[in-house]
Amino acid sequence: MSTIKDALAAAEDALGGEQHTSEQLADATTAARRRAAEILVSYDDLRADGMRIQHRTLRTVLMRLHGVTDGEPAFNARLKHILSLGLVIDNRDDGRGRRTYGLVDVLELALCLQLQRSYVPPAAAVRFVTGNRAHLDKFWSEAPKGAAPRLYVEVDAFAAIGGEGRAGGRGSRGNEVGTISLGRMAHLGADAVPPSSLVIDMADLQRRVHDQLVRAGARDAVASNATRDEPVL
């Protein structure tokens, strides 16, 4: 993961080539330092409510992670669809007010988007993440400690082809049950050719999420004229 020095360099880069006052630069530096420290602490308890990220920041981070420089409406629709599938619990009262997210929410959304880039259907990606959270949390927690875990995900569009699938007149990718798995598909015999695997570098994914959150915090500190004691993300 990035060091504080890296975070400060990222914050300076996040401000771009525009002219900024010394106070704005100080705000951005302090925001970057605090954001980097908050992220590292948040890995100690991934599902604590200590770190709250606004929706606009979440969108900016995910767009930058996946190289989206235009086509924001299409990306918004994709993000809205993932959220509608129940990946992130909406803790707002009656769904009102500004929605916020925790660190693990951003990580899981980033992972879902990575799976979609490999043509895994959104619903299958969400089921994969929600069904393997205990295992994935270990990955998220190990990377900041110096480990470099890689996630091997088997993708099998034929997984739904079986007695139950045929009985229901299905057997295509439209029946997404079992499309992806962390281990060898249970329906395969010993002599069957295993499906292809996706390899996701979890440490690299986390580092990039981390850096983008730091940069977003620096940008928001300048844009909102936040004080050095109260940076905004």
How far apart CA 87 and CA 232 sit, in angstroms, is: 25
How far apart CA 119 and CA 220 sit, in angstroms, is: 34
pLDDT in tens, 166-209: 444 443 333 444 567 776 555 567 787 877 888 888 888 988 99
Q: Which residues contact 107 (CB under 8 A, 6 or more apart)?
A: 140, 205, 206, 209
Enter the tokens of residue 210. 């981390």
pLDDT in tens, 34-55: 778 888 888 878 877 777 888 9
Helix, strand, coil content of the chain in percent (nearest 5): 55, 10, 40
What is the pLDDT at residue 230? 36
Core vs surface per residue 174-193: b (16+ CB within 10 A) or e: ebbebbbbeeebeeeeeeee
Residue pointed to by tokens 């996946």: 66
Confidence of residue 59 (pLDDT cuts 50, 70, 90): very high
Residue 40 CA, chain-centre distance (Å), reads 16
Core vs surface per residue 3-41: b (16+ CB within 10 A) or e: eeebbbebbbebbeeeeeeeebbebbbbbbbbbbebbbe
How far apart CA 111 and CA 129 sit, in angstroms, is: 8
Confidence of residue 109 (pLDDT cuts 50, 70, 90): very high
What is the pLDDT at residue 171? 38
pLDDT in tens, 111-149: 999 999 988 889 889 988 998 888 888 888 887 777 767
